[in-house]
Structure 1
Amino acid sequence: MKENIVQMKSYAFAIKIVNTFKVLQQDSKEFVLSKQLLRAGTSIGANIEEAIGGQSRKDFFAKLTIAYKEARETKYWIRLLTDTKYLDKETSRILLEDIEELLGIIGSIQKTIRNS
């Protein structure tokens, strides 16, 4: 079976988000924004998984679009948590690099589907 890069990267990103969530909850006692980050950040991979199992090309594209939107939302929460000093600069940098990469991959897949 061929490796699926977006599937692997979104899963690895979800693990980073879960670990970040745990730190925010335990160390910073941040309980509201961290839940938003957890929900959006783990939803990316879940929607990619649903897209892969989609029943049609249209279903695949719809789920991929949701994954893209969740990635945009995740980027927002990362930036907000950084600017409010809940996330340190290094953690933020790593997460933002990862989310930009995922946005690029998902966007490229969407463009390929639209143009075919």
Structure 2
Amino acid sequence: MAYKEKNNVVVDKSFYFGCDIVNFCKELKQNHDFEIARQLIRSGTSIGANIRESQRGVSTKDFKNKLGIALKEADETLYWLDIIEETTMEVPNNLKAKCEELIKLLVTIIKNS
């Protein structure tokens, strides 16, 4: 595998969550749920991208801002997962739990920074 763990819980968890989202979106596309898959993949992978970008923040304000964006993307991802669950197909339980865990981690980090 190409990814090298960063020994940073939120960075690593968000990366693997993004991978889980990509795999789940493949299932959605097989179900012909292309628009929902597109929305989910954008928000679900954006979480890790913003968290990763926050690690290069030039200031505490920049760091918190990037994590704030990641938090919004995580909340949007949870929204799409709820929509999918309600209208299309079953969402793996661990996917929603992982998203909620990322939200909790982000809130804690932002509050304590």
Q: Normalising by the residue count of structure 1, what TM-score does the alignment of the two structures yield?
A: 0.90
Instruction: Report deviation, 1:60.
Output: 0.5
Q: Report the AA paired with residue 106 of structure 2.
A: I
- 1:67 equivalent in structure 2: 70
2:81 is the counterpart of 1:111: no
The structure 2 residue matched to 1:42, chosen from 36, 40, 45, is: 45
Q: How many pairs align?
A: 109
Instruction: Report deviation, 1:66.
Output: 0.1
**What do the CA deviations read for 1:57-77 (whole angstroms, capped 9, x no partner)?**
111010000000000000000
How far apart, in 2, do the equivalents of 1:98 and 1:12 lie?
Answer: 10
Q: Are residues 107 and 35 of structure 1, via their aligned partners in 2, closer, same or farther at CA, if it must alter by over 3 Å?
A: same
2:12 is the counterpart of 1:8: yes
How far apart, in 1, do the equivalents of 2:88 and 2:51 lie?
Answer: 31
The two structures, once aligned, show a CA RMSD in angstroms of 1.4
Runs of 4+ off more than 3 Å: none
- 2:25 equivalent in structure 1: 21
Instruction: Report deviation, 1:2.
Output: 6.8
For structure 2, the residue ranges without an aligned partner over 5 or more in a row are none
Q: Normalising by the residue count of structure 2, what TM-score does the alignment of the two structures yield?
A: 0.92
- 2:79 equivalent in structure 1: 76
* SS at structure 2 position matched to 1:54: coil
* SS at structure 2 position matched to 1:20: helix
For structure 1, the residue ranges without an aligned partner over 5 or more in a row are none
Q: Report the AA paired with residue 106 of structure 1.
A: L
How far apart, in 2, do the equivalents of 1:64 and 1:2 lie?
Answer: 17
* SS at structure 1 position matched to 2:34: coil
The percentage of counterpart residues that share the same residue type is: 44
